[in-house]
């Protein structure tokens, strides 16, 4: 038998509503819409603020720490460079005057010159014209020679001058000794050997040198003068303007100074100095004075150096708290304003659900929220456009800085030889014109130009004696000259932004027939930019005056390049060069080309192109 069917369930009886208002019970929710909007708006303001503040604090800490380290580095480096430059100037002046005294005509021997009244008067005249010179002496190996200055200098000064004299004789190189003239005045003894035939003379002088003025003139930034001191190559203290003696002693005994004595390299580091039984964290930097091998030590208490970091953190926290309070108030007001139209809709819905069917929803004002969103979007777009414009200007400024740096670098190389002043800029201009007539794109023309500006950067590693030689180079000298493309490529290779320009730098002396250098590339093996620069370089070398030749005429240079087509130069490049020349895009400044005309042509233009 089948199971009996369950009893039928009837739906509950529904009552008709009456005309009276019916109260429908509503469940009370703790979280209202305005509360949700308030929380969302508050969190949307606070969370990014907290995250951005943390990121800002972290990034600014790194920036400020780096900035303080750079200030310390700059202070030590600028002081060391200023001192080295000042000593180099004094050394050169001393050598020049000593040579003048030794070469004055009219005396049978050098000793006669040194004993002459003329020499004595010249030395006194030099001191009168240079009040910073404390004493001056030019003597032979036995010490014979006039000595002008104080009659009886203090023993420590006399000892320093004697030590420098003997060191210059023994080593054959300039010698320096640091001396304290008075509590307010310092000086440096400089002794310079002067070869004179089979003998060696020595010119020595004691120069007043105010290191306090020197540090002030070097621009020490946030580093005070008392936080700088000078040590010798053995790590001994030479001069200090008054920093704490116990800190100086701890620094002199630190690894920073001992490592500098072993290997004189510039180092910035944090040191935990033990001073009076307490740890004294210090940020320190040591930089070598190139001329003497001494070291400039800059130091600053770690807490003081990074005091600005603590201030920044406190200010950021305070401003973040203020912004959080403002965000709280703004979120409350915004939640009320945004939820008001919706609250009206909800109230109307509740009224209808309660049986008040004549209740209607008011739509007035609902569209204003969309208008506000549009206004916010427009403001956001304005901000984004402003940031993009700033980025564009910054990129343009960076590019100008990049180009200016390249030009300055090339000008520095050209400055090694007054005969080649402007050579790199001219070769770059010629190369760009050739590249344009080859039909290369704008960016390719730019790369050719940059590579041409830097094509001779390797000459910084070639001896000036070879670069400026008036005459044909010996095979050994020419082999050294042939190294400059490789040196230039090695200099540029670590710079990622310039690696694309290396082919023009390394191979602009390669020949189409494979007889060039440094790698004997042939034909299409030679990169295009190198082939372009090779033609431009040869044209400028032929049409400008060099130590070993007068400038040739432009017509002669054109004919020479035509003659070398297919041998040294790619015919395609020569064709583009001739088109650029005929169009007037390649011109020779005759005034600059003929600025020096005292040299005699001793070589052929073909050889010039190999040496350019």
- Look at the alpha carbons of 394, 397, 403, 406 in this order and tell me if their dihedral is positive or negative: negative
Do 343 and 383 fall within a single domain?
A: yes
Q: State the Cα–Cα distance between residues 396 and 299, nearest whole angstrom.
A: 38
**The predicted structure's pLDDT at residue 130:** 81
pLDDT of residue 563: 94
The sheet carrying 278-288 orders its strands as 237-239, 228-231, 295-301, 278-288, 267-275
Residue 276 φ/ψ region, left for φ over 0, alpha for ψ in the -120 to 50 degree band, beta for the rest = left
Do 102 and 167 lie in one domain? The reply is yes
What pLDDT score was predicted for residue 539? 94
Structure confidence at residue 445 as a pLDDT band (50, 70, 90): very high
Confidence of residue 506 (pLDDT cuts 50, 70, 90): very high
299 phi and psi, to 5 degrees?
-140, 155
Does residue 70 carry a pLDDT above 70? yes
Residue 237, SS3 per DSSP: strand
pLDDT computed for residue 514 by the predictor: 93
- Domain-located, residue 12: no
Distances in whole angstroms, Cα of residue 20 to Cα of each of 17, 25, 215: 8, 16, 96
**305, 330, 358: which is the final residue of a domain?**
305
Residues 439 and 511 reside in one and the same domain: yes
pLDDT for the residue numbered 496:
86
| 419 within some domain | yes
Is residue 434 located within the same domain as residue 524? yes
Q: Rounded to whole angstroms, how far apart are CA atoms 148 and 128?
A: 11
Measured distance CA(42)–CA(325) in Å, rounded: 10
Highest mean pLDDT range out of 108-112, 219-223, 532-536? 532-536
507 confidence band (pLDDT: 50, 70, 90): very high
Which of 257-271, 340-354, 481-495 is the least confident region? 340-354
Is residue 76 within 8 Å of residue 228, measured between CB atoms? yes
CATH at 95: 3.30.450.20
Q: Is residue 577 part of a domain?
A: yes
Average pLDDT over residues 490-513: 91
320 inside domain: yes
Q: What is the mean pLDDT of residues 514-536?
A: 94
What CATH number is associated with residue 524? 1.10.3210.10
What's the mean pLDDT in 497-517? 92
Instruction: Please report the pLDDT score of residue 37 as a whole number.
Output: 63
- Kindly indicate the confidence band of residue 312, based on its pLDDT and cuts at 50, 70 and 90: low
Q: Model confidence at 517, in pLDDT bands (50, 70, 90)?
A: very high
Q: Are residues 509 and 438 in the same domain?
A: yes
Mean of the pLDDT values across residues 456-460? 86
Whole-number pLDDT of residue 571: 95
Question: What does the pLDDT read at residue 371?
Answer: 43
Residue (of 396, 540, 349) closest to 455 by Cα position:
540
> What count of other Cβ atoms lies within 10 Å of the Cβ of residue 277?
5
Alpha-helix residue ranges (DSSP H) falling in 140-285:
155-171, 211-218, 245-252, 255-262
Q: Residue 67: what pLDDT?
A: 73
Residue-range definition of the domain harbouring residue 440: 398-611
The pLDDT value recorded for residue 606 is 54
**To the nearest whole percent, how much of the chain has pLDDT over 70?**
70
Do 333 and 420 share a domain, yes or no? no
Q: What is the mean pLDDT of the chain?
A: 76
Q: Check residue 214 and give its pLDDT.
A: 62
603 and 534 share a domain?
yes
Condensed to tens digits (0 to 9), the pLDDT of residues 419-434 reads 566 888 899 999 999 9
Asked which of 248, 275, 305 is the last residue of a domain, the reply is 305
Question: What was the pLDDT predicted at 14?
Answer: 43
Q: What is the pLDDT of residue 573?
A: 95
| pLDDT number for residue 485 | 93
Looking at the domain assignment, is residue 551 inside a domain?
Answer: yes
| pLDDT digits 0-9 by tens, 381-436 | 556 456 657 777 876 777 777 777 777 776 776 666 655 668 888 999 999 999 99
Q: Does residue 221 sit within a domain?
A: no
Q: Examine the domain organization and report whether 98 and 205 are in the same domain.
A: yes
Residue 386, token pair as written in the block: 């402003």
Give the tens place of pLDDT for each residue, 133-142.
888 888 888 7
- Of the residues 339, 357, 391, the one at which a domain ends: 391
Split at pLDDT 50, 70, 90, the class of 551 is confident
Average pLDDT score over residue span 260-273: 83
Decide if pLDDT at 12 tops 90. Answer: no
Q: Identify whether residues 153 and 103 lie together within a single domain.
A: yes
- Over residues 172-201, the pLDDT tens digits come to 899 999 888 887 788 898 888 888 776 777
| Residue pLDDT, tens place only, 19-50 | 444 444 444 554 565 566 667 666 666 677 67
- Please check whether residue 173 lies inside any domain of the structure: yes
Q: Is residue 219 part of a domain?
A: no
Cα(185)–Cα(241) distance, integer angstroms: 11
State how beta strands 278-288 and 185-196 pair.
Answer: unpaired
**pLDDT(94) > 50:** yes
Q: CB under 8 Å to 343, separation ≥6 — which residues?
A: 33, 34
Band (pLDDT 50/70/90 cuts) for residue 306 is low
pLDDT tier at 336 (50, 70, 90 boundaries)? low
Sheet containing 133-139: give its strands across: 147-148, 133-139, 199-208, 185-196, 175-182
Say what the pLDDT of residue 575 is: 95
Q: Is residue 548 scored above 70 in pLDDT?
A: no
Q: Considering only 115-129, 271-285, 307-321, 520-534, which range has the smallest mean pLDDT?
A: 307-321
- Residues 443 and 573 occupy one common structural domain: yes
Distance CA 420, CA 418 (A): 5
In this predicted structure, what is the pLDDT of residue 305?
Answer: 62
In total, how many domains does the chain have? Answer: 4
Please indicate whether residue 34 or residue 571 has the higher confidence score (pLDDT): 571
Q: Do 313 and 301 share a domain, yes or no?
A: no
Could you tell me the CA-to-CA distances from 201 to 99, 103, 140 in Å, in that order? 9, 12, 4
Are 54 and 200 in the same domain?
A: no
């Amino acid at each position: 038998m089948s199971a009996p069917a369950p009893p039928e369930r009837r739906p509950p009886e529904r009552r008709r509503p009456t005309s009276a208002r019916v109260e429908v019970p509503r469940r009370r929710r703790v979280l209202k819409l305005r509360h949700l909007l308030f929380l969302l708006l508050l969190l949307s303001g606070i969370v990014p603020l907290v995250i951005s503040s943390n990121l800002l604090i972290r990034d600014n800490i790194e920036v400020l720490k780096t900035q303080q380290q750079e200030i310390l580095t700059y202070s030590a480096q600028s002081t060391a460079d200023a001192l080295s430059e000042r000593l180099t100037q004094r050394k050169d002046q001393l050598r020049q005057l000593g040579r003048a005294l030794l070469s004055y005509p009219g005396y049978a021997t050098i000793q006669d010159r040194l004993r002459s009244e003329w020499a004595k008067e010249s030395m006194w005249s030099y001191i009168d014209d240079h009040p910073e010179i404390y004493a001056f002496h030019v003597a032979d190996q036995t010490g014979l020679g006039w000595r002008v200055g104080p009659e009886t200098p203090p023993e420590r000064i006399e000892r320093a001058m004697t030590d420098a004299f003997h060191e210059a004789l023994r080593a054959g190189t300039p010698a320096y000794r640091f001396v304290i003239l008075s509590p307010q005045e310092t000086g440096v003894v400089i002794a310079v050997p002067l070869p004179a035939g089979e003998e060696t003379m020595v010119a020595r002088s004691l120069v007043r040198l105010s290191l306090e003025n020197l540090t002030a003139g070097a621009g020490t930034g946030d580093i005070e003068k008392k936080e700088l001191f000078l040590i010798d190559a053995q790590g001994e203290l030479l001069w200090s303007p008054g920093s704490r003696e116990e800190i100086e002693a701890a620094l002199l005994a630190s690894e920073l100074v001992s490592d500098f004595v072993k290997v004189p390299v510039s180092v910035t580091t944090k040191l935990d100095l033990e001073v009076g039984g307490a740890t004294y964290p210090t940020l320190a930097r040591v930089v070598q004075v190139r001329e003497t091998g001494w070291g400039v030590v800059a130091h600053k208490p770690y807490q003081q150096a990074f005091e600005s970091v603590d201030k920044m953190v406190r200010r950021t926290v305070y401003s973040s708290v203020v912004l959080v309070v403002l965000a709280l108030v703004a979120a409350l007001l915004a939640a009320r304003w945004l939820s008001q139209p919706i609250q009206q809709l909800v109230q109307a819905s509740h009224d209808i659900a309660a049986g008040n069917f004549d209740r209607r929803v008011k739509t007035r004002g609902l569209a204003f929220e969309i208008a506000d969103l549009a206004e916010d979007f427009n403001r956001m777009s304005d901000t984004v456009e402003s940031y993009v414009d700033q980025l564009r200007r910054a990129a343009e400024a960076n590019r100008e800085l990049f180009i200016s740096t390249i030009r300055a670098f090339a000008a520095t190389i050209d400055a090694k030889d007054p005969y080649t002043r402007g050579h790199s800029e001219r070769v770059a201009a010629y190369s760009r014109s050739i590249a344009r007539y080859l039909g290369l794109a704008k960016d390719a023309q730019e790369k050719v130009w940059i590579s041409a500006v830097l094509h001779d950067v390797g000459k910084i590693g070639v001896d000036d004696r070879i670069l400026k030689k008036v005459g044909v180079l010996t095979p050994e000298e020419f082999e050294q000259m042939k190294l400059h493309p490789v040196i230039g490529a090695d200099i540029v290779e670590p710079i990622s932004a310039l690696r694309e320009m290396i082919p023009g730098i390394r191979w602009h002396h390669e020949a189409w027939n494979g007889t060039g250098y440094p790698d004997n590339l042939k034909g299409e093996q030679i990169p295009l930019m190198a082939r372009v620069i090779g033609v431009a370089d040869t044209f400028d070398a032929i049409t400008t005056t060099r130590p070993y030749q007068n400038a040739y005429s432009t017509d002669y240079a054109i004919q020479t390049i035509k003659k070398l087509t297919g041998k040294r130069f790619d015919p395609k490049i020569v064709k583009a060069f001739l088109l650029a020349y005929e169009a007037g895009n390649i011109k020779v400044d005759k005034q600059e080309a003929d600025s020096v005309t005292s040299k005699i042509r001793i070589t052929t233009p073909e050889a010039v192109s190999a040496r350019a």
